[in-house]
Amino acid sequence: MKTILLEHVRSRLALHELQDGDGQSLLILHGLGQSSPTSVPSIAQVWQGPIFALDFTGHGQSSVPAGGGYTCEALMSDADAALAKIGSITILGYGLGGYVGLLLFGSRPSEVNGLAIMDGPGLDGGGGQPTSPKLLHVPDDELNGTSPDPWALAELSSDIRPPDYAEEHVGQIQALGSQDKAVAVCSLGRPEWLRAISNSPIVFETQAEQALEIFSAI
């Protein structure tokens, strides 16, 4: 496994190359508190092209910033740094990585070929509607610079993911992307944001292997 370090905004991101190959690239985005796999997951064995996996800021081998301030948009920007390095991609996103993948797809609809959303930590976030605001707290003795960053765990498990925000991004993909089948829901979990997009004609339910076969044929 080769690891490329990307200097992005004020983070150093670890982008792992799990597989070399010809054809389009697959980018794996991990779940909340997780890190990239060190080898190609079994469900991605069907993928013939290069396979990369990114450690988000505060996770795995990427840098851990001081003071928290995590948002899914910032992690989308991390994934966009990988996109800039790799070129056009298909995304395999676990939990939080599935949601972040949707945000990136909606923001770069002509550079992402497809997205498979898998179960994993952080799929729900803090739900679809705001609840009573509170001051999050992480004890100082837990902030030792190691990953996963406790601020990431606290903030990205409580961020609000409104259904219409997810729908906006699917709308961008539908209007500006080129795929009839673009977002594969491969998860058992159905948080509010995921239920909201399921009626879109570009969203479909299938097994992960089948989704990757469809996307690899694009």
Cβ closest to other proteins, residue 1 vs residue 176: 176
Query: Does residue 168 belong to the site contacting other proteins (CB under 8 A)?
Result: yes
Candidates 41, 49, 68, 127; binder of other proteins (CB under 8 A) is 68
Residues 113-152 that bind other proteins (CB under 8 A): 130, 132-136, 138, 140, 143, 151
Cβ closest to other proteins, residue 2 vs residue 133: 133
Cβ proximity of 101 and 115 under 8 Å: yes
The two structure tokens encoding residue 71: 């948002």
b/e per residue 89-120 (b: at least 16 CB within 10 A): bbbbbbbbbbbbbbbbbbbbbebbbbbbbbeb
Smallest distance, other proteins to C-beta of residue 70, A: 6
Binding segment for other proteins among 41-49, 114-122, 168-176, 194-202 (CB under 8 A)?
168-176
Query: Does residue 176 belong to the site contacting other proteins (CB under 8 A)?
Result: yes
Residue 148, preceding peptide bond in cis (omega within 30° of 0): yes
What does each C-alpha distance from 40 to 1, 100, 114, 116, 133 come to in angstroms? 10, 20, 18, 16, 40
Cβ closest to other proteins, residue 1 vs residue 84: 84
